[in-house]
């Protein structure tokens, strides 16, 4: 009798792992455009602490990059410098180091120019993981409402930036 | 007001399917044919409503009604009518609408066809089909509403996904896949009905196998067409990347194939009922899992073109469908008969069931490879990926074993074989396979995969050929028919079996083509100035000039193409191109492919330098790729031949008994003694 | 005919197996730098595309990685060094076939266990049949006694022919 009842175990044995997998994969899915951006609290290579709360109400651009990411990050750098110059008053630009040391990042900035925005260390790539970063460079735009407004895998071009930032900057005005 | 009509049709469709489910349920419980008739009519109405909703969407697309968000996102005023039309299935909400149309269509067809033939089963099958359709209508009523409006209405839309509007093949490959996917709900519904009514006899198996074979044929065609699309459009020179989207289509195909084989054993031996039911359930659930993985944004994909909230809905549906059907199965286990092995270890039964073990092995490997990165990340936070090299290496031994079994199964008699039978039936095919591999070696093939594939294909095709020849001779002798006539009659009297042989032959052809093209392709990347040429194999490709112009069919698209001259075994002009779509961040490559029986010449344009007129080309010579499509066509033909309705001799579909006279049978069977 | 066929087939099959073995063992090691670069590129995932390797993809990121591989090959790094170079930077994720023991052994073990269980099941069925002579695999005739033996034989022959 009890042996016959045991066959009912088959149902949870199959269903529970699958349900776990489905739920876990749903929970894991990285933020997509329109969804809330992951929160963070990181220290910049100059020792300043930046948190997502401190940025609330303001659009910001998260640029994951690395000093070893050549040539893509090198190509992209002038575009970001230009963006900081044109939109910096309305949109916060933040660099996030991806598998890179603060020293190497400093050297990169000394070589290719420091646009003046902050670069955050991301130990263990926790923030990169939360965003589902595939590899540097990768850039996310977060709107004033704290939701993801755009994502760009690979180097940004001037045209991308205008397309990204013009509407956000305009709304913010 | 057309979008409003579409939305109304969706809402009424949801009501109709829920009503149908209730009517079927009550009709079955109270044994009331009137209620069942009502349920059936509600399902016909649901199909009509899905048709209205789809037509509303197509009209909105064709008239560029940008007040509909789906149209604004997937259409532009310059989109040609053909691409506007097929945009119905080019993005998430539209493809769910299209799926609903096909699912209700299958349901209506099946409910109509079997209304009198299986009066006990159909109400319960109706409940299942109606609930499935209701789920899709509900998804469209809430999270995946295709008719959501936007305000303010733009004068121009975003245009279709550039990749999807670059080749007319998009008009063929998704409908085939969706016909397969949605059709697999039918055997599941029959399975549920049989479990509820305890009617799991041979007649049921015959019905379910036919209704698995039909969607299986579409699914196979869709998978091959998808590979073809990938090859002709994506420009990377290959056709299968073990991408999650491809895996999602492969998973139910694998379990459905396993079912088709085990159902033959089950039908013949009256056993394995639990196993065949489990396969039917697994196949259906895997179609949902595949959709969940690829369409809810769970599997990371750069090309995913939607953000949507359908993920939790699909997760819920999968859990409900699996838990419900599995519980029903477990409840009925005591009534489903024994689970003893149906044949001796060396018998056709054993070979078919070993095939099942291997097919499920591949299913496990593919599913594991698709979800393992997710599990590992959830468990340890580390990100890994399993790509094509992993899939090929893990699957290769199983594929080789499956190929071998494809020949072994049909060569072994049912029940069991003596050593003499084995020897008589295997000697010639083994010889043929070995000779083919040796011939390959002598022709200069030095890679292992093509040699193994050649040996296996030679073995399999010879087994099939021997079977057909022997069968025709026996029939011809017994009935005094000439061999071709005898062969045709033999095949059409037992479509299932000879259609199956044709499928096997097609797979053998594909296996050789895949192994050869995978390991013997060559390629080169070069930058050429005007007038310069590059040599690859026996071909010379000469760059003549670069032309940039707007497409006549869609002036928003700028095409830059390299005009090349080809000399060699094939010659003429080639024009690989890069197309700039306004809504695509990077240009879409349009490869130039010259196909011949022996090898394809495949050229992708990587970059152009307008100043110097230089072009960078990726040139491939891909041997035997055409035979993948030919083999695929043979598979589909064979499956269609097998699924073609046989003339019914009795009102209830019964397992086809071969009407060969007993004298011929004994005569033919004598060598076995 | 079959008397001669079998030994010939056996020899031919052995020859074919031997050829495949030779082909497997003598899989050509890449000679030129370009071949090595190509082979390494085929093992790395393209960061900004779906399911393609760096060798197959034509995106900028893939092009950059191909260039980097060529550079590392040119300065004489070993394959292993080059792979770990990219793993350090992108994580194990960059490898299309990562050296993850679970990923390699679990599927293999599951499939082998399934085959073993299937084999045991088949043999158990065989043992049960030999212990109880007269029992048959076909339930349809399971209840039949000796008089049906002839009918069963005919039926099995019929099946042997008709599939």
State residue B652's pLDDT score.
45
C49 and C89 part of one domain = yes
Q: What residue spans define the domains of chain B?
A: 1-160, 183-194+208-301+308-361+373-391, 392-520+631-644+664-672, 522-625
**Gap from C34 CA to chain B (nearest CA, Å):** 10
C89 and C114 part of one domain = no
Closest C-alpha to B463, from B403, B553, B516, B418? B403
State residue B302's pLDDT score.
38
**Gap from C77 CA to chain B (nearest CA, Å):** 23
Q: How confident is the model at residue B197 (pLDDT cuts 50, 70, 90)?
A: very high
Q: Which of B312, B327, B377 sits opposite A26 (nearest CB)?
A: B312
Range of the domain at C69: 33-94
DSSP B492-537: HHTHHHHHHHHHHHHHHHHHHHHHHHHHH-EEEEEEE-TT-EEEET
Q: What are phi and psi of A44, to 5 degrees?
A: -80, 165
Q: What is the CATH number of the domain that holds C62?
A: 1.10.8.640
C90 and C105 part of one domain = no
Per-residue pLDDT of B53-101, as tens digits, reads 999 999 999 999 999 999 998 899 989 999 999 999 988 889 999 999 9
Q: How confident is the model at residue A114 (pLDDT cuts 50, 70, 90)?
A: very high
State residue B599's pLDDT score.
93
Domain boundary among C46, C69, C94: C94
State residue B558's pLDDT score.
92
State residue B363's pLDDT score.
97
Per-residue pLDDT of A40-84, as tens digits, reads 999 999 999 999 999 888 899 999 998 877 777 888 999 999 989
The answer to whether residue A8 sits within a structural domain is: no
A155 to chain C: which residues are within 8 Å by CB? 60
C90 and C47 part of one domain = yes
State residue B151's pLDDT score.
84
pLDDT at C143 over 80: no
- Own/partner long-range contacts of A114-117 (Cβ < 8 Å, ≥24 apart): A115/A77, A115/A80, A115/A81, A115/A84, A115/A85, A116/A84, A116/A88, A117/A80, A117/A84, A117/A88, A117/A92, A117/A93
A66 to chain C: which residues are within 8 Å by CB? 89
pLDDT at B20 over 90: yes
If one counts the domains in chain C, the total is 2
Could you tell me the two tokens for A7? 């066959």
The answer to whether residue A159 sits within a structural domain is: yes
Domain boundary among C94, C109, C126: C94
Could you tell me the two tokens for B124? 């319960």
pLDDT at A111 over 60: yes
Per the CB < 8 Å rule, is B361 touching C97? no
C48 and C86 part of one domain = yes
What is the average per-residue pLDDT within A86-111? 89
The answer to whether residue A14 sits within a structural domain is: no
Return mean pLDDT, chain C: 75
C84 and C107 part of one domain = no
C156 to chain B: which residues are within 8 Å by CB? 413-415
What is the average per-residue pLDDT within B274-287? 95
C52 touches chain B (CB under 8 A): yes
Q: Which of C59, C89, C91 sits opposite A154 (nearest CB)?
A: C59
Per the CB < 8 Å rule, is A129 touching B333? no
A159-173, B4-18, B290-304: the lowest-pLDDT one: B290-304
Per the CB < 8 Å rule, is B345 touching C122? yes
What is the average per-residue pLDDT within C69-81? 92
pLDDT at B150 over 60: yes
Length of chain B in terms of residues written: 673
The answer to whether residue A81 sits within a structural domain is: yes
pLDDT at B339 over 80: no
C125 and C105 part of one domain = yes
Q: C9 with B431: CB under 8 angstroms?
A: yes
Return mean pLDDT, chain B: 89
A99 to chain B: which residues are within 8 Å by CB? none
pLDDT at B547 over 70: yes
- The whole-angstrom separation of Cα A135 and Cα B498 is 52
Question: What are the residues whose beta carbons fall under 8 Å from the beta carbon of B438, sequence distance 6 or more?
Answer: C12, C15, C16, C19
Neighbours of chain C (3+ CB pairs under 8 A): A, B
The answer to whether residue A10 sits within a structural domain is: no
What is the average per-residue pLDDT within B401-412? 92
Place of tokens 């290579």: A45
C71 and C90 part of one domain = yes
Domain boundary among C94, C125, C147: C94
State residue A2's pLDDT score.
67
What is the average per-residue pLDDT within B203-214? 89
pLDDT at C128 over 70: no
State residue B657's pLDDT score.
42
Range of the domain at A60: 31-172
pLDDT at B653 over 60: no
pLDDT at A29 over 80: no
Q: B529 with B661: CB under 8 angstroms?
A: no
State residue B294's pLDDT score.
74
The answer to whether residue C24 sits within a structural domain is: no
pLDDT at B309 over 80: no
C58 touches chain A (CB under 8 A): no
Per the CB < 8 Å rule, is C48 touching A135? yes
DSSP B95-117: HHHHHHHHHHHHHHHHHHHTTTT
What is the average per-residue pLDDT within A147-173? 76
Q: What is the CATH number of the domain that holds A94?
A: 3.40.30.10
**Gap from C90 CA to chain A (nearest CA, Å):** 6
State residue C84's pLDDT score.
92
Could you tell me the two tokens for B228? 């073809």
Per the CB < 8 Å rule, is A154 touching C61? yes
Q: Which residue has the higher pLDDT, C48 or B566?
A: B566
Per-residue pLDDT of B237-270, as tens digits, reads 899 989 888 899 999 999 999 999 999 888 888 7
Percentage helix, strand, coil, to 5, in chain A?
Answer: 45, 20, 35
pLDDT at B461 over 70: yes
Neighbours of chain B (3+ CB pairs under 8 A): A, C
- The whole-angstrom separation of Cα B97 and Cα A168 is 34
Could you tell me the two tokens for C29? 């090691």
The answer to whether residue C18 sits within a structural domain is: no
Chain centre to alpha carbon of residue B586: 30
B59 three-state secondary structure: helix
What is the average per-residue pLDDT within B475-492? 90
pLDDT at C160 over 50: no
Distances in whole angstroms, Cα of residue B234 to Cα of each of B162, B243, B615: 11, 13, 19
């Amino acid at each position: 009798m009890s042996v016959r009842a045991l066959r009912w175990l088959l149902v949870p044995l199959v269903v529970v792992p699958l349900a776990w997998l489905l739920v876990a994969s749903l929970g894991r899915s990285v933020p997509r455009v329109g969804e809330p951006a992951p929160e963070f609290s990181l220290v910049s290579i100059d020792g300043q602490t930046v948190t997502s709360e401190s940025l609330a109400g303001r659009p910001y651009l998260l640029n994951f990059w690395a000093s070893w990411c050549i040539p893509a990050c090198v190509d992209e750098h002038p575009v970001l410098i230009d963006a900081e110059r044109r939109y910096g008053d309305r949109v916060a630009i933040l660099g996030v180091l991806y598998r890179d040391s603060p020293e190497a990042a400093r050297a990169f900035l000394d070589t290719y120019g420091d646009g003046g925005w902050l670069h955050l260390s991301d130990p263990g790539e926790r923030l990169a993981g939360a965003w589902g970063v595939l590899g540097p460079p990768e850039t996310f735009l977060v709107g004033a409402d704290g939701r993801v407004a755009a994502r760009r895998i690979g180097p940004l071009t001037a045209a991308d930036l205008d397309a990204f930032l013009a509407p956000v900057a305009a709304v913010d005005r | 007001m057309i979008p409003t009509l579409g939305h109304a049709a969706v809402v009424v469709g949801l009501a109709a399917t829920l009503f149908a489910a209730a009517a079927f349920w009550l009709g079955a419980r109270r044994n009331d044919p009137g209620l069942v008739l009502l349920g059936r009519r509600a399902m016909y109405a649901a199909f009509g409503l899905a048709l209205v909703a789809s037509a509303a969407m197509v009209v909105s697309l064709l008239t560029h009604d940008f007040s509909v968000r789906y149209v604004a996102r997937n259409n532009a005023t310059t989109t040609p009518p053909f691409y506007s039309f097929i945009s119905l299935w080019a993005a998430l909400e539209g493809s769910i609408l299209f799926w609903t149309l096909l699912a209700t269509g299958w349901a209506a067809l099946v409910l109509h066809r079997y209304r009198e033939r299986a009066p006990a089963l159909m109400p319960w099958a109706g409940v299942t089909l109606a609930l499935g359709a209701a789920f899709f209508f509900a998804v469209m009523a809430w999270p995946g509403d295709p008719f959501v409006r936007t305000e303010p209405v733009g004068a121009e839309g975003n245009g279709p996904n550039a990749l999807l509007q670059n080749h007319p093949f998009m008009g063929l490959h998704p409908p085939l896949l969706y016909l397969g996917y949605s059709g697999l709900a039918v055997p599941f519904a029959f399975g549920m009905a049989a479990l509820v009514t305890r009617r799991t006899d041979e007649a049921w198996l015959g019905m379910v196998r036919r209704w698995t074979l039909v969607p299986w044929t579409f699914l196979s065609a869709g998978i091959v067409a998808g590979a073809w699309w990938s090859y002709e459009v994506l420009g990377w020179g290959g056709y299968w990347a073990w991408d999650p989207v491809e895996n999602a289509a492969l998973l139910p195909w694998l379990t459905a194939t396993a079912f088709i084989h085990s159902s033959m054993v089950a039908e013949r031996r009256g056993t394995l009922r639990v196993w065949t039911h489990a396969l039917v359930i697994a196949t259906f659930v895997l179609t949902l899992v595949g959709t969940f993985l690829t369409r809810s944004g769970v599997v990371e994909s750069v090309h995913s073109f939607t953000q949507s909230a359908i993920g939790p809905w699909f997760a819920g549906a999968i859990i409900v469908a699996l838990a419900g059907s599995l519980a029903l199965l477990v409840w009925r286990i005591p009534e489903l008969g024994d689970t003893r092995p149906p044949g001796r270890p060396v018998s056709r039964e054993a070979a078919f069931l070993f095939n099942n073990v291997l097919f499920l092995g591949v299913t496990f490997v593919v599913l594991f490879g698709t979800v393992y990165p997710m599990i590992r990340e959830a468990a340890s936070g580390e990100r890994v990926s399993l790509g094509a090299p992993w899939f090929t290496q893990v699957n290769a031994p199983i594929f080789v074993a499956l190929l071998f079994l494809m020949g072994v199964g049909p060569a072994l008699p049912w029940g069991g074989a003596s050593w003499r039978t084995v020897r008589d039936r295997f000697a010639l095919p083994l010889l043929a396979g070995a000779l083919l591999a040796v011939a390959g070696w002598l022709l200069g093939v030095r890679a292992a995969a093509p040699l193994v594939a050649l040996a296996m294909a030679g073995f399999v095709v010879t087994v099939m050929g021997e079977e057909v020849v022997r069968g025709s001779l026996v029939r011809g002798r017994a009935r005094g028919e000439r061999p071709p006539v005898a062969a045709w009659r033999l095949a059409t009297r037992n479509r299932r079996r000879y259609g199956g042989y044709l499928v096997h032959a097609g797979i053998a052809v594909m296996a050789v083509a895949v192994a050869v093209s995978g390991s013997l392709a060559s390629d080169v990347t070069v930058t050429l100035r005007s007038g310069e040429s590059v040599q690859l194999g026996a071909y010379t490709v000469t760059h003549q000039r670069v032309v940039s112009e707007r497409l006549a069919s869609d002036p928003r698209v700028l095409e830059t193409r390299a005009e090349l001259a080809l000399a060699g075994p094939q010659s003429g002009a080639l024009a690989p191109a890069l197309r700039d779509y306004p809504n695509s961040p990077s240009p879409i490559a349009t490869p130039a492919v010259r196909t011949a029986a022996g090898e394809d010449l495949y050229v992708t344009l990587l970059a152009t330098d307008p100043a110097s007129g230089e072009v960078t080309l990726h040139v491939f010579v891909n041997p035997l790729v055409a035979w993948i499509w030919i083999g695929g066509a043979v598979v589909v033909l064979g499956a269609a031949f097998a699924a073609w309705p046989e003339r019914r001799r009795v009102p209830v579909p019964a397992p086809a008994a071969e009407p060969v006279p007993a004298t011929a049978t004994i005569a033919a069977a004598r060598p076995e003694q | 005919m079959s008397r001669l066929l079998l030994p010939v087939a056996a020899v031919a099959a052995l020859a074919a197996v031997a050829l495949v073995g030779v082909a497997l063992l003598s899989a050509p090691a890449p000679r030129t730098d370009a071949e090595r670069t190509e082979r390494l590129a085929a093992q790395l995932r393209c960061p900004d595309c779906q399911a393609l390797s760096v060798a197959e993809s034509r995106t900028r990121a893939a092009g950059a990685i191909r260039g980097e591989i060529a550079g590392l090959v040119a300065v004489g790094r070993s394959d292993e060094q080059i792979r770990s170079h990219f793993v350090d930077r992108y994580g194990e994720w960059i490898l299309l076939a990562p050296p993850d023991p679970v990923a390699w052994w679990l599927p293999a073990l599951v499939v082998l266990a399934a085959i073993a269980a299937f084999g045991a099941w088949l043999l158990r069925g065989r043992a049960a049949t030999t212990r109880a002579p007269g029992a048959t695999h076909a339930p349809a005739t399971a209840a039949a006694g000796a008089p049906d033996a002839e009918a069963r034989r005919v039926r099995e022959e019929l099946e042997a022919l008709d599939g």
